[in-house]
Chain A
């Protein structure tokens, strides 16, 4: 008993304090979302009455195209998650398994390019896409396909790097066996590598999905129209500068937007964490 007091009690005490720190904002969001007033002001930390008015408002108010935002976010993040891995995996495979001149330089370029933060070349992306708009208005500045193209470019560096790390850990003997049997590099890729790496590809595309879902600044620059915004841009614009007025619906909206991501994350945490140590820092 004494040992328990000495060893475990303080651990529980510290853990409870940190739990409070972690849970406080989350509890508050639920409190605000379920409060009937929808204001930022907290009158009591214990709910006196529960109302779904804020959720109701989210789906019915014409001023909040919440479903459009949610749909845009899922479509954009989903497309990027699939395409960036399809394209990135091929490059990662080549970097990991093929021998060719300039491999080292290629990897160094990839590493160097990643160090140039995307936001810094934002003005250049803006000017370039403005020019693209002048001859191809459908994929230029201010369009969803344009945003997708820019995201795809940005996802390349990180994904190729991450995927290469995973590919390196797949035993090379399998490829060699295939090669001995007369398979070409392209056949090895499709018949051996892709089926073997499928779970890894799924994890990377999941990380890619989360990253794109969280992207804010490019989306804000590109998607001006209220209905074409992503959830991040929409909710931010919704409360920017006026926390007090729209807080309730915002809280409700962020709960709904977070639930799928949190659920995916918690259920696949084992795989995602192995990706973390391989060098990604989630934004």
Chain B
């Protein structure tokens, strides 16, 4: 052991690890900087400097222990939390996903229309002498021939142009046609380039040998940040929440919008927009009911089992092994298995009772199923906890009470239960907080359903806050990351206050002093 920890070996080893990590980080810093991810490259740079200072000097001994853990904690926990808080102040949803400059260029790209005569040209795609993308366009009916690039147009004299059987020009001075392979390589550029035609019109390529005449209908005026539709004369102005809106008709938006800072509007919506408030209140109530019922039923059954087993009983070891089985099994598997058992048509539960209960189609039954399954999953935890706590209660107390003439029920209510609650109440609070956010059981068992999708509802009868938030952020319809983030922050405050209450009671914080 001491040989292994020989100073020379460890120091060399340390330098190798530090050098390797630094090299890796440096590589990431350079590539992220090249892709303009400045926030990420900034974070990595700080990490790199911290590594150098911490492990190459003796500036701070505790940092030598903290740095790796802190790096991951900040990168993947603290960072995303801050990002979530930031996102909650943005109008950030489907249709408002990109940055404002991107949105402007998208609007410009789509705000075009073909010219009234629907003019098309036969073209050959090629390059001019300085390797710029160029087309050789022909209109054989009108005998019009010209070359055009993104910046210049050169008319060709129809008398001198060499034409093929269709009347299309085949060669022109300085023009080199591209092979199909070369065209494929320039795919993106070919699709987006606008070739010069006249001051009002430009040409875009429609296929490998066809191009059409277009004009810009939406024009951007950067001096006052507005779009004008030259066809209708409508003016679109930045409405402050991430869209260009028609000045005379506020509901007429240009698509797409961008993610715009709207400060506390997402939070305000939670309380003022009835379409959000109503399902949110329903979901919140069910979340509280679900977490409370879960903790109560799990605790009650766990305690019952612990009390039954709290004396010499034939086969106690076997019972004990059976009772902790649900706890030992991977919970995902158990939930999925229960999901199959509750199936209305073929499920084992309806078969066992000879019933035909529509477990997942009816709100009440679906909620009952969720509670039953969660009871199965969680009561062993409380059985283990309470049986430990019961054994810690001195037998003298209940014996003394019995001598004084107390009944079993009185002993339980006046002595056992209060002493027990003193020990397990922080764990009850912790369990409440855990179940408040028990995403897996809802998502895997009912998916939050049954949901009245015909009524356009996103929230289902068994959705708890966290699964509802997940649906808002990643659901099938509109994905609203801004709103979901706002709800997340609210949930965080609820959980934090519940947990702080639990911590106060358990006095964990005392040890900080």
List B contacts of A116 (CB < 8 A). Answer: 77, 81, 492, 495
The SS class assigned to the A binding surface is helix
Contact B304 A19 (CB under 8 A): no
Q: In residues 289-325 of chain B, which contact A (Cβ within 8 Å)?
A: 301, 304-305, 308-309, 311, 313-314, 319, 321-325
List A contacts of B35 (CB < 8 A). Answer: 134-135
List B contacts of A168 (CB < 8 A). Answer: 511
Q: Does chain A have a CB within 8 A of B332? A: yes
Contact A157 B77 (CB under 8 A): yes
User: Which single member of B68, B325, B438, B443 contacts A90 (CB below 8 Å)?
Assistant: B68
Report the nearest A residue to B307, measured CB to CB.
Answer: A11
What is the bound-complex CA distance between A261 and B331, given in angstroms? 11
Contact B339 A136 (CB under 8 A): no
Q: Does chain B have a CB within 8 A of A70? A: no
* Minimum CB–CB distance for A102 against chain B, Å: 9
Number of interface residues of A (CB under 8 A): 102
What is the bound-complex CA distance between A125 and B473, given in angstroms? 12
Contact B444 A243 (CB under 8 A): no
Q: Does chain A have a CB within 8 A of B413? A: no
With contact pairs A94-B66, A150-B76 given, residues A14 and B81 touching in the complex (Cβ less than 8 Å):
no
Contact B72 A18 (CB under 8 A): no
Q: Does chain A have a CB within 8 A of B244? A: no
List B contacts of A265 (CB < 8 A). Answer: 324, 327-328
Report the nearest B residue to A99, measured CB to CB.
Answer: B62
List B contacts of A45 (CB < 8 A). Answer: 352
User: Which single member of B323, B337, B343, B384 contacts A25 (CB below 8 Å)?
Assistant: B337
* Minimum CB–CB distance for B412 against chain A, Å: 15
What is the bound-complex CA distance between A91 and B29, given in angstroms? 26
Contact B324 A135 (CB under 8 A): no
What is the bound-complex CA distance between A77 and B81, given in angstroms? 24
Q: Does chain A have a CB within 8 A of B397? A: no
What is the bound-complex CA distance between A25 and B40, given in angstroms? 48
With contact pairs A232-B330, A282-B327 given, residues A14 and B308 touching in the complex (Cβ less than 8 Å):
yes
Interface membership of chain B positions 439-473, coded 1 if the CB is closer than 8 angstroms to chain A and 0 otherwise: 11001100000000000000000000010011001
Q: Does chain B have a CB within 8 A of A174? A: no
Q: Does chain B have a CB within 8 A of A41? A: yes
Report the nearest A residue to B60, measured CB to CB.
Answer: A100
What is the bound-complex CA distance between A247 and B343, given in angstroms? 12
Contact B65 A94 (CB under 8 A): yes
Q: Does chain A have a CB within 8 A of B217? A: no
List B contacts of A222 (CB < 8 A). Answer: none
Contact B81 A113 (CB under 8 A): yes
* Minimum CB–CB distance for B309 against chain A, Å: 8
* Minimum CB–CB distance for A210 against chain B, Å: 8
Which of the segments A48-56, A59-67, A197-205, A249-257 contacts the partner chain?
A249-257
Contact A122 B336 (CB under 8 A): no
What is the bound-complex CA distance between A185 and B60, given in angstroms? 11
Q: In residues 14-44 of chain A, which contact B (Cβ within 8 Å)?
A: 14-15, 18-19, 21-26, 28-29, 39-42
Contact B343 A262 (CB under 8 A): no
Contact B469 A120 (CB under 8 A): yes
List A contacts of B309 (CB < 8 A). Answer: 15
The SS class assigned to the B binding surface is helix
Contact A117 B437 (CB under 8 A): yes
Contact A250 B336 (CB under 8 A): yes
What is the bound-complex CA distance between A277 and B426, given in angstroms? 10
* Minimum CB–CB distance for A81 against chain B, Å: 15
User: Which single member of A22, A88, A276 contacts B325 (CB below 8 Å)?
Assistant: A22
Report the nearest B residue to A280, measured CB to CB.
Answer: B430
What is the bound-complex CA distance between A153 and B43, given in angstroms? 15
Which of the segments B119-127, B166-174, B231-239, B481-489 contacts the partner chain?
B481-489
What is the bound-complex CA distance between A135 and B34, given in angstroms? 8
Most chain B CB inside 10 Å of its own CB: which residue of A122, A136, A247, A266: A122
List A contacts of B433 (CB < 8 A). Answer: 115
* CB < 8 Å A-B pair total: 282
User: Which single member of A28, A261, A269 contacts B337 (CB below 8 Å)?
Assistant: A28
Contact B384 A276 (CB under 8 A): yes
Number of interface residues of B (CB under 8 A): 101
Contact A123 B481 (CB under 8 A): yes
List B contacts of A122 (CB < 8 A). Answer: 470, 473-474
Contact A19 B322 (CB under 8 A): yes
Interface membership of chain B positions 87-100, coded 1 if the CB is closer than 8 angstroms to chain A and 0 otherwise: 10000000000000
Q: Does chain A have a CB within 8 A of B28? A: yes
What is the bound-complex CA distance between A121 and B333, given in angstroms? 25
User: Which single member of B79, B326, B384 contacts A22 (CB below 8 Å)?
Assistant: B326
Q: Does chain A have a CB within 8 A of B364? A: no
Most chain A CB inside 10 Å of its own CB: which residue of B80, B327, B438: B80
List A contacts of B509 (CB < 8 A). Answer: 108
List A contacts of B430 (CB < 8 A). Answer: 279, 281
Contact B337 A254 (CB under 8 A): yes
* Minimum CB–CB distance for A7 against chain B, Å: 8
Q: Does chain A have a CB within 8 A of B9? A: no
Contact A121 B338 (CB under 8 A): no
* Minimum CB–CB distance for A155 against chain B, Å: 8
Contact A123 B474 (CB under 8 A): yes
Contact B376 A22 (CB under 8 A): yes
User: Which single member of B319, B341, B474 contacts A15 (CB below 8 Å)?
Assistant: B319
Report the nearest B residue to A232, measured CB to CB.
Answer: B332
List A contacts of B341 (CB < 8 A). Answer: 25, 28
* Minimum CB–CB distance for A107 against chain B, Å: 6
List A contacts of B81 (CB < 8 A). Answer: 113, 116, 121, 124
With contact pairs A136-B31, A239-B340, A261-B330 given, residues A104 and B513 touching in the complex (Cβ less than 8 Å):
yes
Most chain A CB inside 10 Å of its own CB: which residue of B1, B5, B61: B61
Q: Does chain B have a CB within 8 A of A5? A: no
Contact A216 B68 (CB under 8 A): no
What is the bound-complex CA distance between A257 and B324, given in angstroms? 18
Contact A111 B431 (CB under 8 A): no
Closest 9 CB pairs of A and B: A153-B76, A265-B328, A94-B65, A120-B488, A124-B80, A121-B80, A124-B83, A91-B69, A41-B346
A125-B80, A239-B336, A276-B385 are known; give 9 further A-B pairs, CB within 8 A: A11-B313, A90-B65, A90-B69, A113-B78, A117-B439, A168-B511, A191-B1, A235-B332, A258-B333
